A and B are shown apart, each in its own frame.
Chain A
Amino acid sequence: MIPFLIILFSLTMLYLGATSRVEAYIKTLALQGVILFFIILLDYGTENIPNLIFLSAETLAVKGVLIPLVLMNVVRKNDIKREIEPNIPFFFSLIITSSILAWGFYISWLMSDVAISAHPFFFGVSISTIVTGLFIIITRKKIITHIMGFMAMENGIFLLTLAIAKEMPFIVAIGVLLDIFIAVYLLGFLVNKIQDAFAGVHIGTLTKLKD
């Protein structure tokens, strides 16, 4: 069941790589949060129940509900509908995302003889998600999609920490800390300051500082 969920997670990244509707990004991020929640529930085992409850509740609450809600608020308040055609057309964006996913599976294959206690899929899919998140940040123009690419990268990092959750549970807790920090600070700053200064949250307007 867990490999299935991981594959589903990777399919959401495919969708992220190709869509241009900003609300679709947000819903996909929420879906990723829900998938991660199920992965935690199924994978954790029964040793440390309070930790499990905390982790799964945090994942569902922050990744699945809170961050999408705040993002949706920002998007609705500013009437941001679509991502304009980025530097790379969406068609090629999808091809590149698929190749990143393929490369991630190749890494999984390399992993299969290295001894870790987690399913090798964890590693390959999470690395490809992180790289795809970076790719989305690099090729998109709006600030809001930059943030969503970053959130996708976060979800990938979280998936990676789940792979070693059995040996070092505190790494997952630190990953949660990263998440909350990003949510509070980045989004807080975005919602308050950038909105007032830049009505269009278009990265094209952030070009005053250059040489």
Chain B
Amino acid sequence: MSRRIDYNRIQDNLFRIVGIGCTLFGLLMLGFFLYSVISEGWPRLSAQFFTSLPSRKPEEAGILIPLFGTIWVMVLTSLISIPLGVASGIYLEEYGKKNRLASLIEINITNLAGVPSIIYGLLALEIFVRILGLGKSLLSGSLTLALLILPIIIVATREALKAVPKTIREASYALGATKWQTTWFQILPASAGGIVTGVILAISRAIGETAPLIVIGAMLYITTLPSSPMDDFSVLPIQIFNWLSRPQKGFIINATAAIIVLLAITFILNGIAIYLRNRWQKKVKW
């Protein structure tokens, strides 16, 4: 009898080691990535790197154009996706509860969230680039990414709206406010923290996207800054992809430096989102 219990205990403890090991594996891999990227790319970071145009000589090449492209894309995509996404979320959560159309839209959104990003690229290639004739412009790229992250924003908005207690709504109606007045003046401000968090996470996802932009033809080789939404553009992930495909060591180093910049932007955005989420959760004590 005691032999069996000992065996079980050993098994139990062994698994604890396996469990810790696996958890640490994930963390170790993360640490290892970051280390390999930072150690190789950090020395390359300099004012010259940020302000230079592309060049055939790796030491002279820089990320000015793709960095600007990323910022432009970030702004345009936000402008398109935030109003659309928040409005959709409000409709589904506040207005469309008993609606058959609403439940169809809901299923639709869940499916869209699982569609590979490259398919959005094909959609954009045919419709934005060819049929609407927008070409491989910033506008096409931003529209594509906006559609891609729309499900994320909608879901985040809905979650945030759901968290607002019914009592707020009821109190507002009791005072004679209309549905829209309630939504605009009471619910939205109350859920703003959650919505903003979701939006920032969605944007952070968008700026890391490469595949759909390659499909619509975002150029790997432009030499000028975009000055309007109809211009050709490039973004950081595409520049990284391009430099990675070159065998010269100098370009690989450039790629790692650009990766540091991209990761920095991603982490800062995510950090802001998490900070906001924590602050909002603490503040809102119903």
Decide whether A and B are members of one complex. Answer: no
